[in-house]
Amino acid sequence: MSFSSHVKDELAGTCGSARHCQIAELAAMFCMDGHIQTAADGRSQAVLHTENLAVARKCFTLLKKTFNINTEILVRRSMVPAKGGLYILAVPKQLDVERMMNAMRLTCLTKSGECIPGKLILQNDCCRRAFLRGAYLAAGSMSNPEKGYHFEIACSGPEKAGQLQEVLASFGVDARIILRKKYHVLYVKEGDQIVDILNIMAAHISLLELENIRILKGVREAVNRQVNCETANISKTTSAARGQINDIQLIQQRMGLENLPPLLREMAEARLNWPDVSLKELGSLLDPPVGKSGVNHRLRKLKELADSLRVIEEDVSC
């Protein structure tokens, strides 16, 4: 099961105790997945489509609790078994549809019957939380947090996306809207804000799971940075030591280490004896010990001497 489905299963089992919160959640689900149909005889019926059985069950339960409506359910099986089926919930009686629309403050946006709820049902924080929960159940998704952070709700029109954006903004969440094909997609990519959204929707188990994943990812990233830093330092030290040994071997071949000043001779012999140690460790091996800057100074003198020998060698060859 994907993380997004895990969140939806948790939310499907979460229901506000107050009737106004239940109406707000049902309004969001209906606005995202439902519409009003007008029959040939002029009567209206409300229809909601969903591919998620848990969402269909919750919608059925909310309709029964809030309006005492017995909903007709039709299941259409997909030709592809992996895709599951389509669940269609219908409220056939016009009187029930009118009660629903009045309670949800629904306004039809287009001739297709798509609706948007009025702001009156979103006045309370608890109702806005329920509304966001219903919208995610109906049309939301989340990426696997192991791979990245992405929360989105696909809306059929800009009005619905704008309303959800205002709801999230009331909780301090900055959501963006992008047009993707025929949908206006509201999305959030920041991990901290997605955690806030899960808290707003009351998906507390999923929130803890996400936080655990974020902690593990943070530890892995910190370890990787430390390993990369140490690897780079070792590579840098090894490369520098190789150049220093080349300089010392050239001096040894051309003039002999015994002809160097005592301090430089000691340094040259120490580097040949301990080719892999850092400058700080190399200085501690001298007698008396020398600091890193002192070691660096002596090695620089040896390099200058080796460079001068190379110049003489080039002049002679010319």
Position 78 scores a pLDDT of 61
pLDDT in tens, 60-77: 888 888 888 878 888 877
CB 62 within 8 A of CB 70: no
Give the residue from 115, 110, 101, 95 showing the smallest Cα distance to 23.
101
Confidence band, pLDDT 50/70/90 cuts, at residue 315: low
Mean pLDDT within 269-288: 87
User: Is the pLDDT assigned to residue 132 strictly greater than 90?
Assistant: yes
Asked if pLDDT for residue 102 goes beyond 60, the answer is yes
Gap between the Cα atoms of 298 and 265, Å rounded: 10
Nearest to 50 by CA among 134, 115, 127, 111: 134
Question: Per-residue pLDDT tens for 188-234?
Answer: 999 899 999 999 999 999 999 999 998 998 888 888 888 888 888 77
Are 185 and 151 contacting, i.e. CB atoms less than 8 angstroms apart? Answer: no
| CA atoms of 31 and 66, how far apart (whole Å) | 17
pLDDT surpasses 80 at 85 = no
User: Percent of the chain, pLDDT > 90?
Assistant: 27
pLDDT band of 186, cuts 50, 70, 90: very high
pLDDT at 172: 94
The span from the CA of 219 to the CA of 252, in Å, is: 49
Containing 269, the helix (H) or strand (E) segment is: helix 262-273
Average pLDDT over residues 250-261: 88
Q: What is the DSSP letter of 255?
A: T
